[in-house]
Structure 1
């Protein structure tokens, strides 16, 4: 609730000094709760959204796509083309009052490289991380990495002393469902500090009085109450009743009527995120299908048939209510390597899809389970239900199995799915991020952790690795294009669309839509009543 403290009464009673900042609490609703507070354990936007209020990386990406220093004030290539130097901001304090130094940055980056960290692929090009002095860190990559700073916008810095004192030196292993002290506690440098946390219910943050950014940012929101509300109808009802001040996951079906409501502010913009289907093309036999002894998804004709059966325009109209940009590539338009030619999608063609299935030896289709989240992307379960209907027209009997994103992402990270709906944002704004996580052979050199398709191509792997050390931008871009040409031809991912975001809030709040879908509340301005 946005509230005003009764300052006049307190001043009259002599309880406060003459100049007092206005207290503003914002109740912030989303569809899901972060899986953990450990800053290096999970690579999902849901986690980053909350953690960006509490922790800080060296560099952040602003809503306009530009990079801005957070803990770092400057980053430059040294005379050695494989060494990046980062100058740290002096006087930055952790929430326990201790000063941040280069030791904490070195420790945090190395912690993010650990096998249990889902962020390790972002640092796969790193050779060494060293402290130069108390406020200088150098990172040497295995070759000239032109975009290395872009990889750091979601790698948070935490206190080395705090982590070691609380036996949390290593990132939490969410796959094994183990916890450490950092799972439910924090010691960041961000503008807000943790007051309380009730998992899947309520997390309360308050402004950190010793935050280094005082006087540089508005910091008009003094308290945040994060409320995960799974049901879309319940989220909207909470907003309309005034129980919630800011709704980030706005159901597509409610956008038009909420825009017409004069008591609300609704803002819109494209998201840096693609929604797509992943297909297990590597298994000899599928675990979640009724075909035994072979894998229908391994046949390129079956994959092409699936792509032709899906009517992306119908999904945009009937499911997304116009709030999607149909596409045929799993890279949004913000990303280096995106091309309109790759994004051009085929129109649905049931007859041709049936013909391809018959040629592949499945004239009557087959049965398969489509795993989907039901609380992460805009209308995610409804999209999967629509896909099931489209595939039914060509004989592929698709059972939709919906689950929370925490379970869904764990299954993908463990490759325990054959056919799944997923979404992927690209915080680096570069195709290498997509290739490192989704295309490279799984588990090799720390890459491919989210590749549940079983796709493996040694030639493509070598090209992906080369992107982290190619100093010639034109050659690098040509390699990116050649990788995309192979990915598009192989069709182990079937792109559906890019999301369009809508935020709804009390009109006093000015929260611009970010392509990263990450609001920074230190920037938020609150109009006076």
Structure 2
């Protein structure tokens, strides 16, 4: 460990020591590898950001601990009997924001319009939504350009803001995260959720206080009176903090420490499969790459090169050696939870270096080439080690990789910018709608500069696939829709736009008096948690 990292670890442990010394039994000290990227609830469609914001803000509909759809700020929802292109939502009454403002239909209309605006990273979820209308103070209609059977599923991470507070603080438009914009909503929040934001030091510590005026205070345990959320990037430091009693709950348990923690007196470890696949993406559309040593050509644009890379990866080896068995090899970028996933689609090639080298030779790259890979080092379990394993695999077929490993706060903007600033990169993708359309719309549809393809920096563009993807949002015949999903998967898998690696598994570790079940979306919900006296 470098001197700088040692100092940082000491500072982090010092901060948690202070918390441990002053916290009572009703304080939950929560640590994970990375922080929320922003408190603006529409600026980033990203797991850790949503996980923290779910405690402060709320959605119309959500998912409980079992993954079942439930009403949150909406008590009922249905297709408008007079307009098949719209859904009607009955709103929960008697709800207030943390500043005391009443929650009304105006706030829902404002929030939906904000979520589909140009700088919102949530707009890709709502590509067919044309707007929202107030029917009365407790009823809202959300309108799409056509029938949208999955509209409620797309709302589980779309948070509702207080219109009055947003206007007063100049945050009517979402933060432009990719451009590095700073706004009041980046570090301040005003939701209807079970916890109130007390203080926020990005990448250091966030403190939440139980909202005693929460509408659900008598329906849910809402056990922790205070939550102290601390990002600790170093795996060893995170585990040491739990073992020493400085934190109560570690969300991102290093896979190499699961067995040891499971046998540690006073420590509980809960395991589960995450709704997320880890994979590599690459620029397949450019005429030339910025970071390779091939002049006037793009090796990744050649399907044979992509197939060779896919064949070079030893998924089972990565699962066993890098992930210590805590992952499942994947052949498509969809976890098993998702509608459209099948065992047949999930088949993946066994590593075959000789066959891969033959494909490289056939493509004209028998002597190999050099390229740059971008990798986060604080987002996914063992993300940097996964990239290092892939560097070795690609090296065996003649592709020399320059690995750039950095924080996800620097990594994700490279993918989202237009034009993108990465040729080859690692990313993980969860599917909160539990439907393949979510994957297709964000990752395979042509980047249209608006709502579709927002996480597709690959340059992949297939007009036939685009049309099939668009049809999924309005197709109400389930059999026909599932058939279209199957056709899309068959095509995009054959095109090898991405190199799937594995479905990530999760381990949560905590002191024995706390029991926090693994959440498939890796968004632990503390309002369900009881605290031992």
Q: Shorter-chain-normalised TM-score: which range?
A: over 0.9
Match of 2:229 in 1: 226
Q: Deviations over 1:442-498 (max 9, x none)?
A: 135510011011101111111111111111111111111111111100001010000
Distance in 1 between the 2:188 and 2:20 partners?
Answer: 27
1:75 maps to which of 73, 77, 86:
77
SS at match of 2:527: coil
Q: Which moved more, 1:80-89 or 1:349-358?
A: 80-89
Match of 2:203 in 1: 200
1:323 maps to which of 302, 305, 326:
326
Q: Deviations over 1:391-435 (max 9, x none)?
A: 111111112110111111111101210101100000000011111
Match of 2:178 in 1: 175
SS at match of 1:56: coil
Distance in 2 between the 1:73 and 1:5 partners?
Answer: 39
Instruction: Give 1:103-114 correspondences, 5 Å limit.
Output: 103-114=106-117
Distance in 2 between the 1:4 and 1:297 partners?
Answer: 54
Shift of 1:5: 9.8
Distance in 1 between the 2:491 and 2:449 partners?
Answer: 19
Match of 1:464 in 2: 469
Q: Deviations over 1:203-232 (max 9, x none)?
A: 000011211001100011110001011111
Shift of 1:63: 2.7
Instruction: Give 1:213-362 correspondences, 5 Å limit.
Output: 213-362=216-365
CA contact (8 A) 1:4 1:23 kept: no
SS at match of 1:170: coil
Match of 2:11 in 1: none
2:447 maps to which of 442, 449, 454:
442
Match of 2:512 in 1: 507
TM-score by length of 1: 0.95
Match of 1:49 in 2: 51
Instruction: Give 1:491-506 correspondences, 5 Å limit.
Output: 491-506=496-511
Match of 1:489 in 2: 494
Shift of 1:101: 0.0
Distance in 2 between the 1:94 and 1:308 partners?
Answer: 53
Over the residues paired in the alignment, what is the CA RMSD in angstroms? 1.4
Distance in 2 between the 1:446 and 1:56 partners?
Answer: 23
Q: Which moved more, 1:420-429 or 1:23-32?
A: 23-32
CA contact (8 A) 1:58 1:70 kept: yes
Match of 2:67 in 1: 65
Distance in 2 between the 1:53 and 1:252 partners?
Answer: 27
2:42 maps to which of 40, 43, 46:
40
SS at match of 1:347: coil
CA contact (8 A) 2:20 2:245 kept: no
Match of 2:128 in 1: 125
Shift of 1:120: 0.3
SS at match of 1:451: coil
- State the aligned residue count: 513
CA contact (8 A) 1:302 1:356 kept: yes
Distance in 2 between the 1:57 and 1:111 partners?
Answer: 14
Q: Which runs of 5+ in 1 are unaligned?
A: 7-21
Distance in 2 between the 1:177 and 1:371 partners?
Answer: 19
Shift of 1:127: 2.3
1:364 aligns with 2:359: no
After superposition, the Cα gap between the structure-2 partners of 1:290 and 1:217, relative to the gap in structure 1 and judged at 3 Å, is same
Q: Deviations over 1:19-76 (max 9, x none)?
A: xxx9600111011111110000001001001000000011111232211111111111
Match of 1:138 in 2: 141
Q: Which 4+ runs in 1 deviate beyond 3 A? A: 1-6
Distance in 1 between the 2:229 and 2:428 partners?
Answer: 23
TM-score by length of 2: 0.94
Q: Deviations over 1:137-196 (max 9, x none)?
A: 011211111111000000000100000011100000011111111111011000000111
CA contact (8 A) 1:308 1:347 kept: yes
Match of 1:383 in 2: 386
Shift of 1:384: 0.3
CA contact (8 A) 2:20 2:247 kept: no
Distance in 2 between the 1:445 and 1:481 partners?
Answer: 26
CA contact (8 A) 1:276 1:493 kept: yes
Distance in 2 between the 1:397 and 1:469 partners?
Answer: 45
Distance in 2 between the 1:152 and 1:524 partners?
Answer: 24
SS at match of 1:176: coil
SS at match of 1:288: coil
CA contact (8 A) 2:192 2:214 kept: yes
Distance in 1 between the 2:506 and 2:272 partners?
Answer: 5
Distance in 1 between the 2:297 and 2:425 partners?
Answer: 19
